Chain A
Amino acid sequence: MARYLLSQLFQAALVVVFVTLVVAVMLRFSGDPAVAQFQGASAPTEEQLREIRQAMGLDRPFLVQYWDFLSGVVTGDLGTSFRGETAVRSLIAQAMPPTMLLALCSLGLSVLLSLPLAIHAAVHKGSWADQAVRFFSLLGLSFPNFWLGIMLALIFGVTLRWLPVSGYESAASLILPSVTLGLILTSTTVRLLRASLLDVLSSQYVTVARSKGLSERRVLYKHALRNTAIPMITFVGLQFGGLIGGVVIVEQVFAWPGLGSLALHAISNRDYPVLQGTVTVLAVLVVLVNLLVDLSYGLFDPRVRLE
């Protein structure tokens, strides 16, 4: 187990290094951050640009810059934003809680919604309820999430005025963004869960369990559901990466001050340290979640041994 963990952690570290390296290289191919400071409002001279680049540390060779960044990551120092003198670490520390809150709430909401819906649909396969679940999940999949977000904001924020349209102020401001993201997640989760439940329900051991005279309820909760846990957890783990992607857009729509907004601004400002820092944190998160998913297999299936 310990050896397994170590090798996984090593792999995870490799993934993070690779991701940040790709980001660092790509960034340097796309416009000059020194010029980006001027925003077209004035024209810099070459000398001024040189000075700004020097202040940003961009005059040094790429590998030196990258090495500094990596060693910074190890010591927890992610550098300073190009816009002003704020430490990247403190920017991320501010943006992390809103993003985590949003991600967890939407994930929780989608689990709460999709479990009963999928179970009902699978058990009553072909019924009108099953048809409805399938129809709405397909509908949910076809909505772009920013559109759904704006529609929800218009209905519940502008017309009915029940909820704040945007911002990060109270528990109420959490509702619209997590519902937007949660609904989109539910559409995919519900389909997958329904399919794997149906699969399990038609398998031999379920037939055996039924023939032994176990109640339908017991068959479902004791045998079938437990066996869909592994594909579900795997799926949710994989979803997490996608969830982070969705967070970027939903944060933008709801002016949610999280990691997604931070990364987007960093891209448009060519704020290398902020973007590299944010990407590193996001990569670590995704890798960690997937590691946790791997580890949790043993909990649900005693046959799984991590070596």
Chain B
Amino acid sequence: MMRFTALFVTALLGTASVSQAQTGTLTVATAQDPQNWDPIDTFLIAWGTVAHNIYDGLIIRTPDLKLQPGLATKWTYLNGGKTLRFTLRKGVKFHNGEPFNANAVKFSFDRLLGAEGKKGPQQANYTSIKQVKVVDPYTVDFILAQSDPVLLTKLAGYGAMIVPPRYIKEKGAAYFDTHPVGTGPFQFVSYKNGESIRLQAFPGYWGGKPKVANLTFRFIEEPATRVAELQSGRVDIATAIPVAQAATVKGNSKLSLQAVPSPTVQALRFNVSHSLTKDVRVRRALNHAVDRDAIIKSILQGYASPIASLQSSKSYGYDPNLKPYPYDPAKAKALLAEAGVKPGTPIGIDFIGTDAVFREVAQAVAGFFQAAGLKPELKTYETNTFYSDIIPKNKTSNAYQMGWGGWTFDFDNTAYLLYHSKQFWNPDYSNKTLDAMLDKQHTMSDQKQRLVILRDIARFTHEQAIDIPLYNQQDLWGVSKRVQGFQAPSDSLLHLRTVSVK
């Protein structure tokens, strides 16, 4: 036993001395294997967490959500906003040595917007781009089908990553799926399905050499295992620490816990096609009936904040002056009585049963509804069935869970999709005033004016009590203290070039 321990200590010291130099390996544990690395094929946060180290977009979004030049050094709107012109960075190379230029940009977007992109979920985000034209080797024009206020943000993520034309033409898309090549700070070494992806520093990176030599992402789905690996020191950064394990991470002297507001909000939406929840007084009553602060404090252990609309506090359109309905059980009862709702009236609440945290939240909400005199009935579903069948086909009960993460951090991303009439995830609610506001801001280029409308939309949905916004979740990151210079991003997109290990 002693010998075993001694051996282990030597091994530890060994790795420690190696990482003294400006090299070392940084290991990140994520919850999911995206199963392919092609930007146009995926919509997984786990993809973004890894792939933004391999690829660059024309624009880069920093951890504090600011847009800054990426592969484009500047951009201007021409033709009254119908053309978006990018000036490209010179001297950039892909990991395989292929030069980056206007052709690569055109190729990337032709692919995304063409037949290949049709097979994946990314194309839907970029439909405002009609065409990409090469002006000269380092200038491209995006001809827009309509003005899109969120386009620049979208160009900093996911499907808009620039890919190498020659490599993809020679090797084929299936090979590219599992052997990604980009212009990012780290280049691909190996990928094992369901296990890990290994990267190494790309010495020719245009933005400067990364501070670690190797970067490994391991896919560990079970949260308890992720935390255990973090504790054991075999993982340096772990994503998606469950609230229940936050104290374990925080209490460990070798680890730190970073909490950042995520894009995700949790809400209960009302199905207004049911007689009970058709009445705005009932919906307002139920908003008053729920003690959000108690839920946040006891179930989420404080790792969330109350909200009044379905957006993160970091989202464009957020209005700090709009406050949630105050917890007022007496008022809730009075409003229900005014609406003629008899005590003991049943109210259905649907939620995703595999979500352990929300299960508790749903039970708490049911308790509050019961206190208001109703008879709550909880019903659970599996995630995919819920989102692809129950919600869009209007099979929900009076109230149902909606967890929504607008990855662009722009209220439009949520509001348009959830409140506009006949949208996929909104089969029941329809209001002309709201539609008009949503449409107006959807294609507006004046951002200041847009902000005013987005706030009007939030106020309108609040007054109509279309839903009960419960809380804005925080993402919890477990970080080893040997990691230097890491800032947990709100959008889960990791940029690890400037991170080093002790």
Which residue numbers of A lie inside 8 Å of B, CB to CB?
A: 30-32, 34-46, 48, 51-52, 55-56, 80-81, 83-87, 91, 94-95, 150, 153-154, 157-158, 161-162, 164-168, 252-255, 257-258, 261-262, 265, 268, 270
Contact = CB atoms under 8 A, between A and B. Distances in A.
A257 B385 contact: no
Nearest to A34: B388
A45 B123 CA distance: 11
B41 interface: yes
Count chain B CB atoms within 10 A of each CB in A34, A154, A158, A258 and give the residue with the most.
A158
A301 to B, nearest CB: 42
7 contacts: A31-B384, A42-B417, A43-B417, A43-B424, A157-B228, A168-B195, A253-B225
A157 B221 contact: no
Contacts of B8: 161-162
Given A42-B43, A153-B228, A52 B121 contact: yes
Contact of A261 (B124, B194, B392, B417): B194
Contacts of B193: 86, 91, 94-95, 257, 262
B192 A257 contact: yes
A43 B426 CA distance: 10
Contact of A85 (B34, B36, B124): B36
A265 B383 contact: no
A161 B220 CA distance: 18
Interface stretch (B77-85, B325-333, B401-409, B454-462): B401-409
Contacts of A253: 222, 224-225
B423 interface: yes
Given A39-B44, A52-B118, A84 B218 contact: no
Contacts of B403: 40
Contacts of A56: 119
B4 A162 contact: yes
Contact of B389 (A32, A94, A150, A165): A32
A83 B35 contact: yes
Given A31-B387, A94-B193, 11 more contacts: A36-B388, A39-B121, A42-B125, A51-B119, A52-B120, A55-B119, A83-B36, A165-B232, A167-B218, A167-B234, A262-B194
Count chain A CB atoms within 10 A of each CB in B41, B42, B407, B424 and give the residue with the most.
B424
A166 B31 CA distance: 13
B484 to A, nearest CB: 23
A41 B193 CA distance: 24
Given A42-B417, A268-B384, A37 B121 contact: yes
B121 A38 contact: yes
A95 to B, nearest CB: 7
B145 interface: no
Contacts of A85: 36, 38, 41, 173-174, 177
Contacts of A168: 192, 195
B192 A55 contact: no
A91 B195 CA distance: 12
Contacts of A167: 195-196, 218, 234
Nearest to A37: B121
A84 B120 CA distance: 8
For chain B, the bracket of interface size reads 35 or more
B384 A43 contact: no
Contacts of B262: none
A44 B424 contact: yes
B178 interface: yes
B38 A84 contact: yes
Contacts of B219: 255
Nearest to B195: A257
B388 to A, nearest CB: 4
Given A42-B43, A48-B124, A168-B195, A265 B33 contact: yes
B382 interface: yes
Contacts of B316: none
A95 B35 CA distance: 13
B66 to A, nearest CB: 21
Contacts of A32: 384, 388-389
Interface in B170-200: 173-174, 177-178, 192-196
Contacts of B279: none
A257 B194 contact: yes
Interface in B214-254: 218-222, 224-225, 228-229, 231-234
A161 B42 contact: no
B221 A252 contact: yes
A166 B384 contact: no
B335 to A, nearest CB: 31
Nearest to A264: B221
A245 B119 CA distance: 33
B194 A95 contact: yes
Given A51-B118, A91-B193, A150-B228, A86 B178 contact: yes
Contacts of B220: 166, 255
Nearest to A166: B225
B178 A255 contact: no
A255 B222 contact: yes
A84 B228 contact: no
A249 to B, nearest CB: 10
A88 to B, nearest CB: 11
B43 A41 contact: yes
B165 to A, nearest CB: 18
A272 to B, nearest CB: 12
A41 B331 CA distance: 36
B44 A31 contact: no
A258 B195 CA distance: 9
Q: 8 closest pairs, A vs B, by CB?
A: A84-B36, A257-B194, A35-B388, A31-B384, A55-B119, A85-B174, A32-B388, A43-B417
A11 to B, nearest CB: 33
Contacts of B423: 43
A165 B44 contact: no
B412 to A, nearest CB: 12
Contact of B404 (A40, A154, A165): A40
B177 A86 contact: yes
Contact of A30 (B32, B41, B121, B382): B382
B314 to A, nearest CB: 16
Count chain B CB atoms within 10 A of each CB in A30, A44, A83, A161 and give the residue with the most.
A83
A209 B425 CA distance: 77
A81 B173 CA distance: 13
A51 B123 CA distance: 11
A161 B384 contact: no
A166 B228 contact: yes
